Amino acid sequence: MKKLLIYLILIATTAWSDIPRQRKDNLVLENIPDIPASVAERLQPYQSVRSAVFIDWLHRDGGMLIRTRFGESSQIHAVESPKGMRRQLTFFAEPVGECVVCPDPRQDLFLFTKDSAGNEVDQIYVYDLARGTHTKLSDGRSKHSALVWSNKGDRFAFRSNKRNSRDFDVYLGDLSGSKNFRAVLQEGGYWYPVEFSPDDRRVLVKKYVSSDESYYYILDIAGRSLAPLHDDTARIAYGTACWAPSARGIYVVADWESDHKRLLYYDLVNKEFTVLTGQIAWDIGEVEISPSGRTLAFTSNEDGFSRLYLMDTATRGLSRVTMPDGQIFYLKFKPGGDELAVSINRATQPSDAYTFKLDSRKFIRWTYSELGGLDTTAFVSPRLIRYQTFDSVNGKPRTIPAYYYEPKRSKPPYPVLIDCHGGPAVQARPYFSTSAQFYLNELGIAVIAPNFRGSTGYGREFMSLDDGYNREDAVRDIGRLLDWVEEQPQLDGRRVGITGGSYGGYLALASMVRYSDRLCCGIDGWGISNFVSFLENTGEYRQDVRREEYGDERDPQMREFLRRISPLTNAHKIKKPMLVVQGLHDPRVPLSEAEQIVKAVRKNGVDVWYLLAEDEGHGFGKKSNYNIYQQIRVLFLEKYLLKKDKALRGN
């Protein structure tokens, strides 16, 4: 209600101005020119590309559930065999979120979550595969997530903020619905269940504090007792974890006594860790154990690419699976244990579902997503570069890793688009992007995705370099990337734009503030424009977690610092065109963050395009909305990045 009232006031205020607005269904376009039909036509093949990801195994026929999009949004489909037909099961306007199949083979059903208009107030539903029907189990008001079935399949655990909207408690439920949902953990903070113990008497739960601090506990369901996994006063960041079938220990990923997250085994009897991947000097990602417990599969993030490993739990010997450079995720062993399902994505190929046969060590492709009739040989893989930034480490210049995508079909020097990832505790990795491939092949724009300080994947120390009062050091990393661009003969340092979403939107705005004389234009999607107003207005359940990253605005000294560095405070320095994009129901970065920066930058006499989606939240989940957004981005870049008129570039 509060956000809606703010929106109505802002709409009324805007209506009195001279800024032209137009409506396309649930999209409001402000100061955006008409989109030529030629732009939509050129984009159409790229917007027809599909992808598919593995979700879970089905008991019936040995098939699987995948998530893909045939209509407006991503939905759940069933596939019975490799290359089999994709049979759509859910048909919602909103994308389906989590999805977990009941482990009891006698129960032909799965649980899933879905929100409304991007508000992230996810509800729990049960889908009956025999009848093809679904039923909502949750209250319709609170946020629910982290669905975990018991091994027996008679109940499930989840988290919800229903108690006070701020804290996430852990609940147990069954198919009778919310009337029988009962809280089993109410400690305050950001908690969620991870996995039931093999005998279903205990639940491994996690408390998330920040990107560099989290803890595992074991919850005894009957006694309601809570015991820390490891009684250590050190600040630790834990990753994924799973019980050993014997229940004597837990395989867990953590940066315990290390700068990187390693795979460890925690012995619950002797209460000690054993390091299992000391020879891998990179962060370990997903971990999945076979039903027999004899094989452990896990991924490592090696310079932004996924590597898949198998471990014999008896000998603890490791073997690496041979596969091309790419990303591998959503690992799960088939109930029989002889196959491992995965999703694979490469810079030149969208996601598809595969299985890996343990005996033959061969990948079998299950889905073949459509590529819109595009010439895939024209797709571009990036090159990993490292450029020097402003500070040093161990007496040597610090370098920032970045992925550089160079056009194949046009001649240098190329205009450049810097693409800043969100997070900030996230990493730019070479995933397939229709937008990036369009810029490369159709517009001749080189794309650079930097992993500025604060990014994950390069160790705990690197991730913490932008914390608190060091926030602007990440912006300085972007400045040194501009230096690198100007030194490259194949790149046009006079035609550089910047884009970013969420935290990347902040970086785009902050870079437009600091480097407005060196950038042609900027695109801010769902970005933070004022850290103080953001922290005060973001979802209650997110505030404390975000304060750990950005600083506590309730502290007067920190509040003044955050106000001083915010793009809104310095909006008068933005002298180049901006495109700002926002979802009305965004619970993370509120609507006001976009509205206030648009108003402030326009006072500079700068051309500011503004796109508001009334049926979206943090990002666009509906194809029709995203299609128009892509068209607007292309039109904006053609006008302000590719235009050779010096007046438009401000040179």
Q: Which residues contact 310 (CB under 8 A, 6 or more apart)?
A: 295, 296, 297, 318, 319, 321, 358
Q: Tokens 């089905």 — which residue?
A: 58
Using the predicted structure, report yes or no on whether residue 8 has a pLDDT greater than 60.
Answer: no
Q: What tokens were used for 471?
A: 């926030």
Evaluate whether residue 159 is within a structural domain. yes
Look at residues 228, 248, 263 and tell me which one is the last residue of a structural domain.
228
Residue 18 pLDDT class (50, 70, 90 cuts): low
Nearest-angstrom CA–CA distance, 102 and 60: 12
Residues 352 and 334: their CA atoms lie apart, in Å, by 17
Q: State the amino acid at position 318 in one-letter form.
A: L
Tokens of 266: 């925690």
The count of C-alpha atoms lying within 13 angstroms of the C-alpha of 72, restricted to the half-sphere facing its C-beta, is 12
- 259 contacts 461 by C-beta, under 8 angstroms: yes
Report the pLDDT value the prediction gives residue 14, as an integer from 0 to 100.
47
Q: Would you mind telling me the total number of residues written for the chain in this entry?
A: 651
Domain's final residue, options 228, 248, 270: 228
129 and 6 together in one domain: no
Asked whether residue 425 is domain-assigned, the answer is yes
* Helix (H) or strand (E) run with residue 509 in it: helix 503-514
What does each C-alpha distance from 320 to 245, 249, 295, 430 come to in angstroms? 23, 24, 13, 20
How far apart (Å, rounded) are the C-alpha atoms in residues 319 and 297? 10
- Residue 43 parent element (H or E): helix 37-47
Position 310: which residue type?
L
Distance of CA 49 to the CA centre of its chain: 20
Position 263 pLDDT exceeds 60: yes
Asked whether the predicted pLDDT for residue 15 surpasses 60, the reply is no
> Are both 7 and 99 inside the same structural domain?
no
Residue pair 196/157 in contact by the 8 Å Cβ criterion: yes
335 prior amide bond cis, ω within 30 = no
Cα separation, 20 vs 280, in Å, equals: 56
- DSSP assignment letter at 601: H
**Beta strands at 327-333 and 396-405: parallel, antiparallel or unpaired:** unpaired
Tokens of 3: 């956000």
Judge whether 299 and 329 are in contact, CB under 8 Å: yes
125 and 21 assigned to the same domain: no
| pLDDT value at 153 more than 90 | yes
pLDDT tens sequence across 154-167: 999 999 999 999 99
* Residue 531 domain boundaries: 2-30+385-649
- What span, in angstroms and rounded, lies between the C-alpha atoms of 251 and 276? 9
26-65 pLDDT, tens digit each: 999 999 999 999 999 999 999 999 999 999 999 977 899 9
Same domain? 124 vs 211: yes
- What distance in Å separates the CA atoms of residue 539 and residue 411, rounded to the nearest whole number? 47
Mean of pLDDT over the chain: 94
H or E stretch at 213: strand 213-220
394 and 539 together in one domain: yes
What is the SS3 assignment for 173? strand
**Amino acid at residue number 371:** L
How does residue 647 score in pLDDT terms, banded at 50, 70 and 90?
very low
Find the mean pLDDT for residues 337-348.
Answer: 95
Instruction: Give CA–CA dist 365/350, Å, rounded.
Output: 13
> How far apart (Å, rounded) are the C-alpha atoms in residues 54 and 343?
6
Note whether 165 and 19 are same-domain residues. Answer: no
Adjacent-strand bridge partners of 182? 172
Separation between Cα atoms, residue 484 and residue 612, nearest integer Å: 34
> Which amino acid is located at 563 in the chain?
R
Terminal Cα-to-Cα distance of the chain (whole angstroms): 46
Q: Do 484 and 492 meet the contact criterion of CB atoms below 8 Å apart?
A: no
Shared domain for 26 and 139, answered yes or no, is no
Residues 440, 381: Cα–Cα separation, whole Å: 11
Do 407 and 525 sit in the same domain of this protein? yes
Q: What are phi and psi of 432, to 5 degrees?
A: -70, 135
> Of 228, 244, 260, at which residue does a domain stop?
228
Both structure tokens of 458? 């390069």
Asked if residue 500 belongs to a domain, the reply is yes
CATH of the domain at 396: 3.40.50.1820
Query: Model-level pTM?
Result: 0.94
pLDDT band at 199 (very low <50, low <70, confident <90, very high): very high
Nearest to 345 by CA among 325, 331, 361, 365: 325
Q: Is residue 165 part of a domain?
A: yes
Which region among 5-14, 134-143, 183-192, 443-452 has the lowest average model confidence (pLDDT)? 5-14
Percent of the chain residues past pLDDT 70, beyond the cut: 96
DSSP codes of every residue in 418-486: EEE-SSSS--------HHHHHIIIII--EEEEE--TT-SSS-HHHHTTTSGGGTHHHHHHHHHHHHHHH
Structure tokens at 359: 């005996």
Check whether 147 has a pLDDT greater than 80: yes
Nearest to 478 by CA among 395, 416, 562: 416
**For 398-413, what is the mean pLDDT?**
96
Paired tokens of 124 = 């729990």
Scan for tokens 């600083």, then name that residue. Answer: 551
Q: Are residues 24 and 133 in the same domain?
A: no
pLDDT the model gives residue 337: 84
Confidence band (pLDDT; 50, 70, 90) for 646? very low
> How far is the C-alpha of 39 from the C-alpha of 636, rounded, in Å?
11
Nearest to 632 by CA among 26, 33, 15, 3: 33
Q: Based on the structure, what is the number of domains in the chain?
A: 2
Sheet-wide strand order for 64-68: 52-57, 64-68, 75-79, 87-88
pLDDT given for residue 60 in this prediction: 73
Q: What angle do CA 72, 74, 76 make, to 5 degrees?
A: 125
Task: Look up the CATH number of the domain holding residue 116.
Answer: 2.120.10.30
Residue 373 placed within a domain: no
Three-class SS state of 646: helix
Q: Is the per-residue pLDDT at 4 higher than 70?
A: no
CA distance 547 to 535: 7
Mean pLDDT of the 380-394 span? 97
Same domain, residue pair 20 and 150: no
User: Is 543 contained in some domain?
Assistant: yes
377 falls within a domain: no
**Phi, psi torsion values for 297, nearest 5 degrees:** -105, 140
Residue 355, beta-bridge partner list: 341, 364
Asked if the model's pLDDT at residue 648 lies above 60, the reply is no
Both 504 and 394 in one domain: the answer is yes
Per-residue pLDDT, averaged over 263-288, amounts to 96
Quick check: is 374 in a domain?
no
- Same-domain pairing of 502 and 628: yes
